[in-house]
Structure 1
Amino acid sequence: MHSKLKSPIFILFITIFFDLLGFGILIPVIPSLFANPNSPSYLLPVGTSTETGYILMGLILALYFVGQFFMSPILGELSDRFGRKKIILASIAGSAVSYLLFGFGIFTKSILLIFIARAVNAVTSSIISVSQATIADISHESDRTKNFGVIGAAFGMGFVVGPFLGGTLSNPAIVSWFGPTTPFWFASALACINAVSVILFLPETNHHLVHRPITATRSLRNILRAFHMRELRALFTTNFFFQAGFTFFTTFFSIFLITRYNFSQQAIGNYFAFVGIWIAISQGFLLRLVPPSVNSTYILRISLLATSIFILLQFFTGVWWELLFIAPFLSIANGFSMANIQSTISKSASRSEQGEIMGLNTSIESLARAIPPLISGFIAAVLSPSSPLLISALLIFIAWAIFILTHTTKQSA
C-alpha cells in the first residue's frame, strides 16, 4: 500500500474516483427534484407542468458544461503555468462549496441558489482535463492508452458507488433523517477528504512550466483554433459528435427510466451502479488486455459504431430487465471509445503542450456536452422523454462516419 501511495497513477485514480463519486451521487436525485411530480423531493410549485421541469433540469445540467467550456482551457493553461496539483486542489475546493450550496438550495427550496451552486461547480471543475495532462506528463507512449483508462476506471467506479449512495442516502425509508439534501452533504465531505489526499500524496508532475498569456475568451479562440489544426481537426470533430451524442443519452436517460419503467430514486441509483461496474471492468481491466500491436484507430472504428447501436437498442426495450443485457456491451463500447480518443489526441501533442491541448479538448467536450441539455429539455417537452436517445444514437453514428471517412482519406493520401 505504501508503494501505491507513491504512484501518481494510483493517487490520480483515488482523486478522480472521489470527485466522480460526488458527481455520481447526484444522478438519481436531480431528476426527482425537477422532473418527477410524484416524488416527495419535487421542488416545483403545484401546478407546474412536467415540461417546465424538463426544461429547468436541462438548463441546470447545461450550466455546468457551459462553465466548463469557458474555464477548462484557462485552467488547463494555468496548470501548465503553475503546476497540476494546485489547480486540482482548487477544483476540489470548488466542488466542496458547490455541493454545500446545492444542499442549502434544496433545503430552502431556492431554485436560484441551486443555479448558483451549479455555476460555482462549473467555474472550478477542471479535475478531468488537468488529470489528463497529469497522466500525459508521466506516461510513456506505449502506456498512454492504458493510463488514460485509469480515468475511465475511476469514472466507472464512481458510477458504481455514487448513484447507489445517492439513491440510498436520499431514501428516508432506510434512515428516517435521510432526504434529498443528504447526498449533497456527503458529497461535500468527500471533496474535503479528497483535498487532503491530494495535499498529502499527489506529487507535482509538471516540470516544464510554461508562461503563456491567458484571456477570458480563450475557449472561443481555442474552438476556432482547434478546427484549423489539420492534424487534430478530424479527431476533435469526431470527439465533438461522440460527446454530444453520449450526453444526449446520459442527460435524459433517468427520465426515460422514470416515465417508461416507473423507476424510483433507489432503482435509478442501482441501475447506474450496474452500468458503472461494466465501465470500470472495461477501462480498468479489459482495456489493459489489448495488445500494444492493436492501435487506437482500429479500436475506434469498431467501438464508436457499437456505442451507437447499443444506445439505439435501449429505445426498443419492452421490459426494464432487457436493459441489463444491453448495459454491459454499451459500457464496454463507450469505455473503449473514450480512452482511445483521449489517448490519440494526447499522442498528437508535445509534452510542453499537454495541458493546453487537453484543456482545449476538454473545452470542445464541454461545448458538445452543453448543447444537449440546453435543447434536450425542449425536445423531451415537445416530443417525448425517449426522443433524446434516438438523437444520441444518430450523433454517435455521425462521429463514427467522420472517423471512418477521415481515416480512409489519410490512409489514401
Structure 2
Amino acid sequence: MKTPLLIAAACLLALLSTVGAALPYPILPPLFAADAANDLNHFLGLPPKLLFGIALSINPLGLLIGSTLLGPLSDRFGRRPILLASAVGAAVGHAITAWALVQQSYPLFIVARFITGLLEGNAPVARAMLADRLEGDLRVQALSWLNGAIYTGWLAGPLLAGLTLGWGITVPFWIAVIALLLAATLIAIALPRETPSTLTTSWLQVARKKHAFHLLRTPSLRQLFIIQLAYTCGVTAFYEFYPLWLVEFAGYHSKGIAWMTAALCGVMTLSSLVAGRPSQLMPLERVRFHAYFAAAAIAIVGLGNAWLGLAAIILFGFPNAFYNALLPSWCAERFGHHGQGAVMGLISTTFCLANIIMAIIGSVLTLIDTRLILLLGAVMSTWAAWRIGHWQRELAELDSRKMEAV
C-alpha cells in the first residue's frame, strides 16, 4: 500500500463528504421561499420557513449521530468496510435526495438528508485510518491535509451547487453521487483487506456500548471533552454568527458574505498545508498558543469595529487550522489504545454538539446584541486555552508518577 494513495483517498472522501453536507445551502432557500406552493414547501400546510428550518437542520443531526457511531464501529469491524459502506451509502442518499426533489416529497427528502448526514459523518474513521497507519510528523501532516480537505469542502459545496443548478435542481446531487462512488473505488484500491476480527459483538452492541461518549468514563478523556467543548463552542459561535455581524456592522449582503467566507476557507486550507511541519515546541503547548490566538480573533470581531473585525475573520482561519491539525494527532498518540475511531469520533462529535449549544444560546443573545454571542465565544475559547496549560502540567505529573512506579 502506498502512503500517498492512502492519504489521497482519506482526503478525497473527507472533501466529498463535506461537499455533500454543504451542497443544499444555496439550493434550499429558493425552494422554500418560492411563491408557487407545492408539496415540498407546503407539506401538511405547514409554514415554509418551518419546513426550511427542519430541512436545514436534519443533515447536521445525522452528522452528529454518525460522528458518534461510525468511529467506534470502525474500531470493531475495520476502517475499510466502514469507509466503503459510508461512501456508497452517502451516494445512495444523494440519489434519493434527487428523486425526492423530482417527486416533491418532503418526507422522503428529510429521510434522505438524514441518512446522508449519518453516513457522511465518517471523518473520524478517515482520521483513525491515518492515525493507525502513519506515525510522527507524517501523521501530523496527513491529518492537517485532511482538515484542509474538509475546509475546502465547505467552500466547494455551495460553489458546485451554484455552478450546476442551471442544468437542473438535481444535477449537483447526481455529481455528488458519481464523485462518492469514485472515492469508494479509490478506497477499495488504497486500503488492503483487513484481517477479520475475532470479536463477536454486533453492530448494535457497539452502537449501544462503544459509542464515542462511552470514553467519558475515563478521567483524562473527560478532561479532553470539556476543553474541546469549550474551545469549539467559541469556534461555532464565530462560524454561526459572523455572517450576521457582517450584515449589522460591516453593511455586507449575500455576495459580500460569500466572498468573506471564501477568503476564510482559503486561509484555513492553505494553513492546513503547513500546519503539520515539525516544531521544537511540545504539541499541547502549540495547541494552547493557537487556541489563545483564535480566541483573540473572535474577541476582536465581537468588539464591533468593522475594519479590525474583517481582518480578524480572515486571520481566524490560521490558528484554527493549526489547532485542528495538532490536537487530533496528539490525541492519537496519547489515547490511541482506547480505539482511534472512538477517540476521533469524540473530537468530531464534540464539535457537532457545540454547534447545537451555541445556536440555541445565540438565538437568544442576538435578540439583545450579536456581539454578545461572539464575546461569549471568545471567553469560552480563552478558558479552553488556559485550561490546556494546566492540563498539560497535570498530565506531566501523572506521567512522572507512572515512571517512578515502574
Bin for the TM-score computed over the shorter chain: 0.7 to 0.9
1:405 maps to 390
Equivalent of residue 309 in structure 1, options 296, 319, 325: 296
C-alpha distance in 1 between matches for 2:75 and 2:212: 19
Deviations 1:110-152 (A, max 9, x none): 5544432321123322320110110011111343322211211
1:393 maps to 378
Q: TM-score, normalised on structure 1?
A: 0.78
2:266 maps to 277
C-alpha distance in 2 between matches for 1:169 and 1:384: 38
Question: Residues 8-407 of structure 1 correspond to what in structure 2 (within 5 A)?
Answer: 8-30=6-28, 53=49, 59-60=54-55, 62-104=57-99, 111-170=106-165, 177=166, 181-199=170-188, 201-204=189-192, 209=197, 211=199, 213=201, 214-215=203-204, 218=207, 222=211, 225-257=214-246, 261-264=251-254, 267-285=256-274, 287-291=275-279, 293-317=280-304, 325-350=311-336, 353-373=339-359, 375=360, 378-379=363-364, 382-383=367-368, 388-407=373-392
Displacement of 1:65 in angstroms is 4.0
What's the % identity of the aligned pairs?
22
Displacement of 1:305 in angstroms is 1.7
- The residue type paired with residue 405 of structure 1 is H
Runs of 5+ consecutive residues of structure 1 not aligned to the other structure: 171-176
2:403 maps to none
User: 15-24 or 205-214: which moved more?
Assistant: 205-214
SS in structure 2 at match of 1:348: helix
Q: TM-score, normalised on structure 2?
A: 0.79
C-alpha distance in 1 between matches for 2:325 and 2:369: 32
- The residue type paired with residue 328 of structure 2 is Q
Displacement of 1:301 in angstroms is 1.3
C-alpha distance in 2 between matches for 1:406 and 1:4: 37
C-alpha distance in 2 between matches for 1:128 and 1:218: 17
C-alpha distance in 2 between matches for 1:16 and 1:346: 18
- The residue type paired with residue 126 of structure 2 is S
- May I ask how many residue pairs the two structures share in their alignment? 393
Runs of 5+ consecutive residues of structure 2 not aligned to the other structure: 399-406
Find the structure with the greater CA-based Rg.
2
C-alpha distance in 2 between matches for 1:315 and 1:360: 29
Say whether the 8 Å CA contact 1:306–1:333 is kept in structure 2: yes
**Could you say which structure has the greater relative contact order, defined with CA pairs below 8 angstroms and 6 or more residues apart?**
1
SS in structure 2 at match of 1:288: coil
- The residue type paired with residue 190 of structure 1 is A
C-alpha distance in 1 between matches for 2:18 and 2:24: 10
Cα distance change on mapping 1:147 and 1:119 into 2, 3 Å: same
RMSD, matched Cα: 4.0
Say whether the 8 Å CA contact 1:85–1:202 is kept in structure 2: no
Cα distance change on mapping 1:104 and 1:378 into 2, 3 Å: farther
